[in-house]
Amino acid sequence: MGNGTKLVIVESPTKARKIGGYLGNDYTVMASVGHIRDLAQPSQVPASAKAKFGKFGVDVEDGFKPYYIVGSEKKKTVAELKAALKDADELYLATDEDREGEAIAWHLVETLKPKVPVKRMVFHEITPEAIKASLSKTRDVDAHMVDAQETRRVLDRLYGYELSPVLWRKVGPGLSAGRVQSVATRLIVERERERMAFVRAPYWDVSATLAAPDAEGQEVRFASRMVSLDGRRLAGSKDFDTTGQLTPDGFAGNVRQLDEAQATAVATALEQAAFTVMSMETKPYRRRPQPPFTTSTLQQAAGNRLGMSSRQTMRAAQGLYENGYITYMRTDSVTLSQEAIEAARNAVEFHFGKAFLSEGPKQYTTRTAGAQEAHECIRPAGARFRDPQELATKVPADQLKLYTLIWQRTLASQMADATGSTATVRLSAPAGTYGEAVFQASGTVIEFPGFMKATGEGRRASAEPKTEQAAQPAGGAEPSASAAAASQATGRTAKQAESDENASLPPMRTGDVLHAVAVQADGHETQPPARYTEASLVRTLEAKEIGRPSTYASIISTIIDRGYVYERGRALIPSWLAFAVTKLLETKFPKYVDYQFTADMENGLDQIAHGQESGRDWLTRFYFGSGDGAAANADEAHAGLQQQVAQLGEIDARAINTIEIGDGLHVRVGRYGPYLEDMNHLDDQGNPKRASLPDTLAPDELTVEVGHELIEKNAGGPRALGVDPATGGTVEVRNGRFGPYVALVPDR
């Protein structure tokens, strides 16, 4: 019999301590420390159950029934929970309100087998008010959400255990395929293929620094760029295709492509020219705040602005949530509760004044396709938002930076738009025999910063010529998503930004004549598609509805840990191993790395979570096939994963592990790493000449020219190091397919 206490079980010890402090002595709060049981590995299945569960830990012949075990590391936890349950009159399951949390709650019931009433309590923030409110709104464990989680777990087991052995046999040992990780790897490989095939096109233009008086008569200098010459628009990056040729639109537009000599001559002709204002146009500028954070947008912003990986972001967010500082960090929703809207508006008024509030409360609508459970957005917890300074001595530095970002974004969502004006001036100047040159410059002035006051952006504006394409950062990664990102990344505070001078164009009227301070020819090259960063990969996965934002951090970590991808700066670069794995999956299992098919699988799991389909039926179609007379067991299988693997046939491992570079050069992916072969040039034994590949050489950097240089450096034959005193033989350095090695040549 119990003694009147109530047992509350949560996932983590930190969460248990926090909630225990709110509930008082009548409640015992304990942690399960995540899942207390999991799907068994085949090696963990007892001999008596091997016939049914021995291949996957799942009985595919009996409705995909999983075999669960309590791991050895969890037996002590289970014993402690059972002991505590004996003294309790009620059991409250307070795990997270998502599919994983719901499954943990279900496994607790299945394992502990309570004989007292069981109540499921849910909350989106760990505050005294939220915890106490959840006690009065308990429910049962959601069987549909549990079914969806179990289906996903079984699905991933079937996918990995069927496809990974094919990789072991044909590419290399220890490799893995995964429902989402393989598709994410394919995205990164495809981007690198595009970069490898890309042909850069050179183009030139002319820039001029001009001077004009401001309203007080002081000289103001601003940059401008030539946009047309002799009535023809200058070619820019958008006028070239991926092969380096002009696009059809470029031809149709009769664009002018300058070379270095022509651009230099035009610049020289313009040095003493008069620049006459043709037009001066001013338009109003308005920028609206973004919605509050979801899991995906938080990962993107933290990556762009704070340089945090997805894994670091989610770890920091977990700590903030469990300590009661933010709401639950796994959510697809941008919705704010009325309490949160009021708290945000109060904070805005306190910090910035009423003038910075939006006209009325703002509520945002979740537009993410396939959004899961209806949580609130990620925001500061409670009815009063803590200022970041209040947390400065309470949380680690990474958590403080992330909290500040969340606090800023939440306040900004209830603030007024930033407004100002954008001016564009066009000027003409005679360029001698080249005809009339037309230049353009634009400048934006932020007159009222609105929400930018909260996000750390001030009244800084620009008077810059529009360039066709910004230079890519190191590693060829995509640049940050916005100017705000740059502001955050450089550590500029709101106060610093506010003090920045307006960088606007000086007042000018049609017919005004200006002179150039400097004129120069500028050379450019078209740039290949930028490599993915973690932030842009997350954005792409979400846009394609592949996986779920709550899993993106672990997916990216997995493909890096497996050696499929590595980072250079913030850029994600695929290894040659990733090329081979992706090639095999694309050619032999195209459906299972297809973007739409993967998205459809995720949508199927959503339907199961909403009770619109059963996991058993869904898995039957996936594994055994579908159509009229859909397979009910392995004997009837036809179109599912099981038969895709069973009917695979022979695979040419050499072809799978070969990546063509051009001019007879091939990269081979061997068991000991990638190496380069020159099929057009043989060594003394009649074998293709080979060279090892430097680890620092990215795939798109291995051009035909670089490849031949590597072969040449490795083709000089053995080099004698000296004589072995013990045998009298010669010690040589030789180059093999796996790189340099030392050999002893016996003395003859």
Q: Looking at the structure, tell me whether residues 567 and 688 fall in a common domain.
A: no
Backbone angles phi, psi at 134, to 5 degrees: -70, -25
Q: Looking at the structure, tell me whether residues 401 and 467 fall in a common domain.
A: no
Q: How far, in Å, CA of 27 to CA of 17, rounded? A: 12
pLDDT band per the 50, 70, 90 thresholds, residue 685? confident
Q: Looking at the structure, tell me whether residues 268 and 174 fall in a common domain.
A: no
Is pLDDT at 215 greater than 90 in this prediction?
no
- The mean-pLDDT minimum among 18-22, 84-88, 490-494 falls in 490-494
Residue 106 lies in a domain: yes
Percent of the chain with pLDDT strictly greater than 90: 78
Q: Looking at the structure, tell me whether residues 609 and 626 fall in a common domain.
A: yes
Residue 369 lies in a domain: yes
Residue 154 lies in a domain: no
Backbone angle region of 57, left / alpha / beta, with phi > 0 → left and psi within -120 to 50 → alpha = left
Which listed residue (27, 159, 325, 328) is catalytic?
328
159: nearest Cα among 274, 64, 91: 64
Q: How far, in Å, CA of 133 to CA of 21, rounded? A: 15
Residue 460 lies in a domain: yes
Q: Which domain, by its residues, includes 666? A: 657-745
End position of a domain, from candidates 525, 552, 585: 525
Q: Looking at the structure, tell me whether residues 673 and 716 fall in a common domain.
A: yes
Q: Looking at the structure, tell me whether residues 672 and 642 fall in a common domain.
A: no
The average confidence (pLDDT) of the chain is 89
Mapping DSSP to helix (H, G, I), strand (E, B) and coil, where does residue 462 land?
coil
Q: What's 67's domain CATH number?
A: 3.40.50.140
Q: Looking at the structure, tell me whether residues 662 and 640 fall in a common domain.
A: no
Q: Are strands 88-93 and 118-120 parallel, antiparallel or unpaired?
A: parallel
Residue 156 lies in a domain: no
**Mean of pLDDT values over 474-495:** 45
Q: How far, in Å, CA of 555 to CA of 520, rounded? A: 48
- The mean-pLDDT minimum among 425-429, 446-450, 592-596, 637-641 falls in 637-641
Q: Looking at the structure, tell me whether residues 14 and 134 fall in a common domain.
A: yes
Please tell me the predicted confidence (pLDDT) of residue 652. 93
**Model confidence pLDDT, tens digit, residues 656-677:** 999 999 999 999 998 778 999 9
Q: Half-sphere exposure of residue 607, counting CA atoms within 13 Å on the CB side? A: 14
Q: How far, in Å, CA of 666 to CA of 671, rounded? A: 16
Is pLDDT at 495 greater than 70 in this prediction?
no
End position of a domain, from candidates 525, 557, 586: 525
pLDDT band per the 50, 70, 90 thresholds, residue 481? very low
Q: Looking at the structure, tell me whether residues 404 and 472 fall in a common domain.
A: no
Give me the amino acid identity at 79.
A
Residue 155 lies in a domain: no
**Model confidence pLDDT, tens digit, residues 40-97:** 999 999 999 999 999 999 999 999 999 999 999 999 999 999 999 999 999 999 999 8
Q: Which two tokens stand for residue 442?
A: 């634009």
**Mean of pLDDT values over 373-382:** 84
Q: Looking at the structure, tell me whether residues 14 and 130 fall in a common domain.
A: yes
Please tell me the predicted confidence (pLDDT) of residue 727. 87
48 and 67 in contact (C-beta within 8 Å)?
A: no
- 328 annotated active-site: yes
Residue 149 lies in a domain: no
Mapping DSSP to helix (H, G, I), strand (E, B) and coil, where does residue 495 land?
helix
Please tell me the predicted confidence (pLDDT) of residue 647. 83
Is pLDDT at 549 greater than 80 in this prediction?
yes
What is each CA distance from 543 to 85, 181, 303, 417, 533, in whole angstroms?
45, 16, 17, 26, 15
Backbone angle region of 353, left / alpha / beta, with phi > 0 → left and psi within -120 to 50 → alpha = left
Q: What's 331's domain CATH number?
A: 1.10.290.10
Mapping DSSP to helix (H, G, I), strand (E, B) and coil, where does residue 691 land?
strand
Q: Looking at the structure, tell me whether residues 661 and 600 fall in a common domain.
A: no
How many other C-beta atoms can be found within 10 angstroms of the C-beta atom of residue 602?
Answer: 19
Q: Looking at the structure, tell me whether residues 622 and 673 fall in a common domain.
A: no
End position of a domain, from candidates 525, 555, 580: 525
- The mean-pLDDT minimum among 1-10, 28-37, 144-153, 556-565 falls in 1-10
DSSP state of 461: -
Domains in the chain, number: 5
* DSSP codes, 517-547: EEEEEEEEE--PPPBPBHHHHHHHHHHTT-S
Q: How far, in Å, CA of 357 to CA of 278, rounded? A: 40
* DSSP codes, 329-365: S--------HHHHHHHHHHHHHHH-GGGB-SS-----
Q: What's 229's domain CATH number?
A: 2.70.20.10
Residue 456 lies in a domain: yes
339: nearest Cα among 308, 383, 278, 380: 383
Q: Half-sphere exposure of residue 461, counting CA atoms within 13 Å on the CB side? A: 22
